[in-house]
Structure 1
Amino acid sequence: MNRRDTILVADDVEINRAVLRSIFEEDYNVLEAENGEQALFLMRQYRDSIAIVLLDLIMPVRDGYEVMEEWQADPSLRGLPVAVITADDSVESEIRVFDLGASDIIGKPFEPHLVRRRIQNIVSLSQRHLDQDDCIREQARKLRESNAAVIDALSSIIEYRSAETGQHIKRIQLFTRVLLEDVAANCPDLGLDESRIAMIVSASSLHDIGKIAIPDAILNKPGRLTAEEFEVMKTHAVKGCEILSRLDRMGDRDYLKYASDICLYHHERWDGKGYPRGLKKDRIPMCAQVVGIADCYDALTTDRVYRGAIPPEHAFNMILNGECGAFSPRLLESFKNVRDSFRDLTRRYADRELPQSELVETEPLEDHREDGRDAGQLFQAKYLTLLGGADATVMEVDLQTGLYHLEYLSAPVFDPLRSGRRFEDSVRLFAEQSVLPEDRPALITFMTESVGGFLEREQMGREIHFRVWERGTQGVLRCGCSMLRVDAGSLYHKKVLLVWKIEGEGQKGRDQAETEAAAGAWGDLLGGTFLCLCDPHMTIRKMNDGFCRLLGYGEEEIREQFHSHYRNLIYPGDREEVLRQIREQLRMGNVVEMEYRARGKDGNTVWLLDRAHLTVDEEGNSALFHMLVDVTRSKRAQEELRRMQERYQLILEQTDDIIVEWDIPKDRFTASDNWERKFGYQPIRDGLMKQISIGSHVHPDDLAECAALLRDMAGGKPYNEKELRVADNEGRYRWCRVRVASQMDEMGHPLRVVGVIADIGEEKRRSEFLQNRAERDGLTGFYNQTAGKLRAQQLLEKQGRGSAAALYMIDMDNFREVNERYGHSFGNVVLQEISNRLRRLFSGGEVLIRVGGDEFLILAPGVEEAAARAQGREIQQALQDIIGRDVIRFRFSCSIGISLCPGDGEDFETLYRKGCRALLAAKERDTDKYVLYRDEPGISDGENEPAAGNTRIDTEDDGFDGLAREIFDALYGAGDAEKTLVRALELVGRRLGLSRVSVIRSCGDGERCSLFREWCGEGAVALREVLQGVPVADLGGWESFGANGVFCCADVTETGGEDGAANPMAAALEKTGARAVFRFAVRDSGDYRGWISFEDCLARREWTGEQRESLAFAAGIISLFLLKMWT
């Protein structure tokens, strides 16, 4: 049973998606859509893994109502539960939403815990429904097994009732299965699979159940039935359908529908001349058509009370030629394919009981057959239309078995070809009845004796002309017959098509002299021409001088050395391919075009472009007239290009990156195979600019960046780079770096864009870890003030002007007493518990900041005044009794100042200032109070109030957190990458009082290194001219770094070797003028790429554990930035 683990959030407001994501991301994978069109795309893409859809009503492109309407109309999506999240609480809206099938409505603003519980309840209920559906399907399968016993009983009644039935029912099941399997392979539009085939096979056993109602005297009459008796016999179809209609309590309605259709319509015929309804063509159910053929064949090939059995070959010819009524042309093609299987089954199951195990019963499927004609039917219709337009009679003949099928009859003069048990019989009958006596021997010889040589020489075709006597006009008509080989590529297929046609007076043959003369003249200009037979040797009949000059051989040499076989002139490795191309292309028309190699007299290989046209020679043999062009130069250029592509492909195979190309004029996007290996699906190919916003897997927050990238490149920007999130086939977003460049046409306009998509998930995770560590307070996990201020400003900007929000300034009353009584360690435990309780209260998209030692700031979006007051009370209650009274005797309380957006301001500075004033008012009033800024009209709003930007975090670990954040901001702020790097190095050097901070980069194989960038302070000498291509060993070597990638030295002058010898490390460090050194290795997947060096050139420096940690963390941030620069 499939467990669904993904939630789709569809909302055009980014802050709303962020809040919902924060609620569910711990328990579910979260997909996001910013408009209705994208939501529908993701619903269809991930319908098997989505547990619920959280849908906003007001969205661009398509709103929530339109999404639900299409969701209801699409059967594949109906199982997905949808919960609507909206601020519209009108009765009309709620009625419409529930009428469209929503599982629940959640109003905005919402309480996170309540939303989580309601959504979990819906998901749990939906999963139970899915589990119940699986149980119901299993029960249905068992019910079908029990119903099978009833079907077997009914079938047995028919067998005992009819003297001629015997094994008929069981053979019908086997014939039906074999024929259906071939139809399924050649007619995929019918939707036949194993389950549906098994259902039809089982239902076919009831096709004659209506014979129970036929009197014995008629059912088992030994002679031919009278007209009245046959009318009674015909009623068995209707009576059988009536019997089956009383079995509807069996419960399997699909099965009974098939059985009823087969029972009622298996005697209908394609031309409408069947019974009982006289239906035509595809109005007859497909299952009944198949069983009708099987029933007809079995009736012909088995003994009946009124006649003996007919040989299978004769029965096939009778059915194919319409002597038993007309059947579907498509089904007749499949009937031809299963001839051998039918014949074997007829012999194997003629007189013995069929093993029960061969009657397969499997689960049924719905009938997915579409109305209208499919490609196969259209091809058949076009084929027959062509024959009608060409006024030709066509006969298909299998010379191995003698079976033949008159596929189209164009004129009554060819009507005798219908008769005869075998092909030879029909030809002789036609010759005797219609062909003039003097032409009969040649026609019979052509159709019998000459056929053997025609097939052995593997010729494509032959022609013969003869005259026939037309009885209607009492005149002589000149006719022709073309013999065309079918499946000429196999020696074991001996099928031919005979095309019979009445010719006009002027068409006594084909005169190719004028055509060949003109083609020969052109051939002299183009290169060469020759005429050859359509045999495996390509026997040459004629050639021109250009042909001889092309290969360097004379006509006499070609006859003597190569026996006039053009095949021997072709390069050995290309011979079979040339013959295959001729066969394949002649099946589609009478023109052949190909390229191959030939051997010249001088031993060189010549590339030839060969264009050939099907014709006949003077003797009526099929031949090909070839025109050759020397294309050796162009093929050599193509070969060089192919080798370049192979080298390019080898490079692609060695990388995990995805190579992409965008054809701008065609708006077509292609990607290397790595895309499907990485994401599990094929990307958008056509209409990229249009589809990117509504049908792509790009994260909604990155769609604008992605669209801007496309617009810039289409506008002619030479290079661009973006970082985007793209969902894989499991709905997980992956971080990717996209680097693209434009290719211009001769006019300087952008023609195509090529680029590389690299997976930077690991890099992002490392970056986010470092950024999170730099932004977070180490004790509580809340944002520190620098990062928190930035996050709060971003939140207010995202939600837009006029939106509601509440800012809470929280200060613990008398917390200093806790530290004084119980110590700072205990105080830290209390602060952690305070942060945990606040985090539980605010579990949505709020920004939580630790401002000072026991002071906190919380910015909560979407909170109105009433909710803010209630939240203030909840905070007070949550922070009381943090530690149980039985542990310590201390009463915890807090004071809270609250400012509201937009009433008290819409920017963070203003809200923070007024929140501080409200907090001061709360403390002046009394402890354990909360005050709203608007409730205190006497609060001053003067210039001396504290400002958010000037407030320092009053904690012992603030220095490290602040430095890390400043380094991060310096590196990832706007500006040139190299300049931002130097700015970050200077920041570290000045804050820590260092003389020099430098970056050393390894060169080539890692044995040498050079200075990459440096910052020098007081007492330091620049090393750019000194450190260029220096051996790494001269600076201490890679082995100087420990397992953690750190080397630390307090004073290089005190670095001594063993036994008092001079330590080479000291000499190496003295070269740089450094006194105290701290180095941090830059490593990528274990490989050393360089190091970052922090140096004091003036004095000894003891690197404490805290300083080492601080420097290592700062170096880690810089290291990540360097690796990105060097990639």
Structure 2
Amino acid sequence: MDEVKIMLSEELSGTSLQSLSENIPGGMFTCRFDRELTLMQMNQGFLSMLGYSRQDITELFHDSFWNMIDPRDRTETLREVHRQMKISDSKELEYRILCRDGRSMWVLDKGRLIRDENGDAYFCCVLVDVTTSKELEEKLRMLLERQQVIIEQATDIIFEWDFLADTLEFSSNWEKKFGKLPNTRNVSLYLEHAPYIYSGDQAAFAAMMERIRRGARSEETEVRIMDVEENYRWCRICMTDLFDESGRAVRAIGTIMDIDAEKRRAESLMERAQRDGLTGLYNKIACREHIEAGLEQLAPEQKAALMVIDLDNFKNINDTMGHLFGDALLSEISHTLQKQFRSIDVVGRVGGDEFLVFLSQIPSGALAEKKAEQILKAIGGMAVGELTNMDLSCSVGIAVYPGCGKTYQELFQAADQALYQAKKQGKRQFCMSSPETALNGMPAAGESAVNARIDSNEIQETVGPRLVEYVFHILYKTHDMEAAVNSILEAVGRQYDVSRVYIFEDEEDGSCCNNTFEWCGEGVEPQIGNLQNISYVEDISGYHGNFNEQGVFYCRDISELEESQYRILNQQGIKSVLQCAIYDNGQYKGFVGFDECRMNRYWTQEQVNGLIFISEILSTFLTKWRAQEKAVSSARAMEKILDRLSAWVYVIDPETFSLLYINRKTRELVQGVQTGMACHEAFFYKDSPCAFCPVIECREGMPCSGRQIYNPYLNVWTSVDVTHLEWNGKDSVLVTCFDITELKNKLDSLEK
């Protein structure tokens, strides 16, 4: 009786276990721990999951689980099993297994090694389908549908610095542009004396490389590099650090971009912006800038002189002979003036018939008097008597540094008062500034001998159009928006004589803004580092309400603002502010700002209009650049991912069968393949589409997934997936091919 109970119990136990094994998710199997991983048992879930019958397993794989593993994963899987067995008798690993329908399925294999009473080892395992979580390639392929532009910067030079080996590797286009490769071994020893870098730029280059070596995430600088013709070309070098698992910087990737044309064009435009269009002399703003720079370089014991020159009765010549004659005469006078001075002196035209000269580093005021006499003689001796019965003469006012003043404004006022005195005494003469001339016959407040108010805020009417033209041209032509914007902010700041010019851009969600560009005048402390992640709710509540319907916010006295706004502006030393909103498709995206830190400043409507116009131009190009930058960055990242896929990926025009995009795997397999070639020409050397072409079937609406195609020229079997996508606004076809050659050959061998 007891034996019967035992037999019934064993039978019941076996039935229950069998039922349990057939109903758990996934598949169960046991196999020997031998070379072939010989299969002993498998449940129905195992067979259903992979699509085989028990007979298929025997006929196709000879009951060998080893043969069922994807050939690509066999070696690594076996190595991992042995590694785990050294630690315990349990294993857990992922690999691909061949299915009946020809695809490979990713599985999670969790098992335990068991030994029977004879000491033979076998595995008891559970397989779970994890294909969905492993199909990163498929997800990345779907992401491609969202990409409209893929840009390859073939002209950029790419290089890599291995910190541990201290070596550099450059892409091949270095030699095309710069000739012989620089030293690529013991790089650190050569940084400060890199012969291919212009000597004046070597320190900046070495400093950037040192910051990168110490772990700075990204750095960039502009240097001049000698090309194959031994000319120096401006280049922008950008570098990014790569870190190991411990967070240590181990190498850096960099690009070298040729910006020589843009750099020289910007310098040319800047030079043009500083010159008077008629005479070629420095204009009023440039004169002041160069004179202030010259004053800063003077030692305490050195002297200098500022001369204001005004033509006598020039208006009568203009009215009598006409403006064309007057302009020609002004041009000739400018040429005559320039010949009287050294190259280090500043000569400019500051009004219709008014000129300014700065004599730097002179021994005494006597030299300025001598120069003034030469000017009177040179201009008085010009041959205009044959053309007009009026004599040509001028008057000169002189102020000597440091006795008459130490700043540009002080010297200009003193020289202007001396000029006024010379005019009052009968013209055709010069007058030196002194305490007597300052008190006797001084012009009324706000007047000057050159018929213009002495006002640091005054902007000539001609400055606006020239500056707007400069801004537009540099933005329209530039390939480096960041450098262009910085250059423009500096030009605007100097032309309008403001303390600070800057741009704030909103975050994507509009909750806060960041100071992204900034130019500061002399003595003004930069704020860009302190003005990041400024919250519109917590930091500057209600700030959007400051802008009027034209998108302008002007505040002459910031103390009139709401407390939180006043506090954040006052911390920056601001007294007056003018800001112009940035809009993108009607939505507020930030603002361009102009700060005055010296006084409560009045802005004329003409100045406001000019700054609004410049801000609108900046806004238009900036928003377009940000959108393009985002798209390009996303496209580059996607292209890098696609290039790393083990699949062959390409995009085809279904009407012409021409290749629109090819990933790196495809280019490596098919030598000479290029975009624009027809797919049948590139892959099968045919003049017309293939009869089995999946693109035709996809175009006609037929399902095309998992199609197996053999290419006799490449000797490759592929599993092909084809799907529609929009490429640059046009309906196109995405083709993804997976190599199944080994599997196909194995199956063919088994069938034989």
The bucket for the TM-score relative to the shorter chain is 0.3 to 0.5
Q: TM-score, normalised by structure 1?
A: 0.29
Q: TM-score, normalised by structure 2?
A: 0.41
Greater RCO (CA < 8 Å, at least 6 residues apart): 2
Structure number with the higher strand fraction is 2
Q: Which has the larger radius of gyration?
A: 1
